[in-house]
Chain A
């Protein structure tokens, strides 16, 4: 029976959410198309994690090696090349994450296996794979066909498929395969994890947040946004471009590479709503978004939307709050 491989992603002993998201989707495809679901875990002392995977997949293949302790695209590439060549799975899934992005394109080119990245949906029609992905920062969806091949490789966008543990559990068989790694890799070496220095502000603890994005246009406009936040009793947060430009420190960043927040109120000002940002704030209780583009993706996540120039709304809003509080404008 043809196989679907899901590469488990783990870091510092923890399986990452994307693993279960992929396993859930892969299981659905496997059942529909009569394929066997195999979870792959490469690591060192990952017996516990393999057990967790066996609840989702009929087969779990583990390769245990101290050289696989930390993710390294070189060692992963070598190990997966062997497994894929031996098993010839029809589909290999990994996360569109910092690990999958580092590994998948290189592996695909080495194996001459077609790759589709950052996938939000996929389906087999016979042996042909069709995928859905996004372009232009999520403003456009794309349906695409992958060139016909024996094995397809895909990277799956995070938080796209809701994880669901099979009932009853798959009770998968765990098999260990010997490591193909004979020596330490010399071209690329993992040194250490680096945690950014703790900042002065903890946006995850704030009850109210004003999140600002590219739309504020200039660093000179940061103070008036800060003022709006202060008037509201909120903390100022932001999307990635604002940190990249150095307008706000990185402890203010909301999103997949920043913090995940869940305040009672999130006002998104000049944020278009790229999925990386949305991932970090979509669970907020009340979301109000101000953006002049009526098609900005943020409006699909907001409870209330304002299609208007933010520089017209922000001053009015500040004044109304002052009025309400009985303070001087």
Chain B
């Protein structure tokens, strides 16, 4: 089974304090740590597990500058055979639609039985790129997948619904599956794996190699263009407790006690 995994190199922002940059359309990237998008990490792991079980190949694809090679190295170290990086300044500011078109231009020429993506990216959280890509490739898809079982010519998947419920679907292969976090436990990469990955080549492609025009990508080829970023207005703000840890702990206990909860 040949699997293509689409990955994105994103800043880790869950615990970072973010600042809006001077353009007003992006965030200050300096000081932020970049890594593979969390959802894509699960997609990558799923791809490698399929290869280990059934044989075949894993190809990892990303769109991004030189920096994003560290994410592709991670893919190679984890068990991907080939890595492709699409790069061109004109690809910047592509929304989900333009991104899907770029990925489509390359993947349509690859052999694949299965395409795996994360269900969304931690940065812009569109939850759309994979599904648009499936439509462009005219193959079936399923999103928010928490369980994936492969059989001859088809995949049986569990999709996450709200409130803990799941639905089970059968999807014909080749298909695109967008995975939800928790579908597996991504492994740590061995030193050996990292060393081996350093020797593997990353294929770099530009806009000219995709067959797309400038108007297909970037802002020109997007459905959405960002006007401005801003810090969400605070409708309600917590009352902050300050002091030493012991003083703060005393205040918390007093509050809980005053409510009769202790």
Contact = CB atoms under 8 A, between A and B. Distances in A.
Interface of A: 11, 16, 70-74, 96-98, 101-102, 104-106, 108-110, 114-118, 130-131, 133-147, 158, 186-196, 207-208, 214-215, 232-233, 240-241, 243-246, 250, 253, 256-260, 264-265, 272, 285-289, 292-295, 297, 299-308, 312-313, 315-317, 319-321, 324-325
A193 B165 contact: yes
Contacts of A308: 245, 248
B31 interface: no
A202 B9 CA distance: 38
For the complex of A and B, list the 10 residue pairs with the smallest distance between their C-beta atoms, beginning with the closest. A305-B238, A316-B249, A114-B223, A244-B182, A105-B131, A105-B128, A109-B135, A302-B238, A187-B140, A316-B245
Given A98-B160, A188-B140, A194-B166, 4 more contacts: A118-B126, A134-B125, A187-B172, A312-B245
A130 B228 CA distance: 12
Contacts of A187: 140, 171-172
Contacts of B167: 70-71, 190-194
A105 B128 CA distance: 5
B164 to A, nearest CB: 5
A240 to B, nearest CB: 7
Contacts of B248: 306, 308, 313, 316
Contacts of A307: 240
B227 to A, nearest CB: 5
B140 A130 contact: no
B208 interface: no
Contact of B235 (A253, A286, A300): A300
Interface string B188-200: 0000000000000
A319 B257 CA distance: 15
Nearest to A272: B14
Given A106-B132, A140-B232, A299 B238 contact: yes
Given A316-B249, A319-B249, A114 B224 contact: yes
Nearest to A285: B259
A16 B233 CA distance: 28
Contacts of A257: 160, 162-164
A118 B27 CA distance: 20
Interface of B: 11, 13-18, 20, 27, 96-97, 100, 119, 122-132, 134-136, 140-144, 156, 158-172, 181-182, 185, 222-241, 245-246, 248-250, 252-253, 255-257, 259, 261-262
Interface of B is mostly: mixed
B159 A102 contact: yes
B144 A147 contact: no
Contacts of B128: 101, 104-105, 108, 115, 117
Contacts of B253: 317, 320-321, 324
Contacts of A145: 224-225, 227
A130 B227 contact: yes
Contacts, number: 278
B262 A295 contact: no
Given A102-B144, A244-B181, A305 B227 contact: no
Contacts of B233: 141
Contact of B124 (A109, A135, A272, A285): A135
A317 B96 contact: no
6 contacts: A72-B169, A137-B122, A188-B140, A195-B166, A303-B239, A324-B262
Contact of B96 (A16, A117, A260): A117
Given A147-B223, A313-B248, A319-B249, A295 B162 contact: no
B224 A140 contact: no
Given A109-B136, A256-B162, A288 B252 contact: yes
A147 B221 CA distance: 10
A188 B170 contact: yes
Contacts of A264: 259, 261
Contacts of B222: 147
A117 B127 contact: yes
Nearest to A77: B135
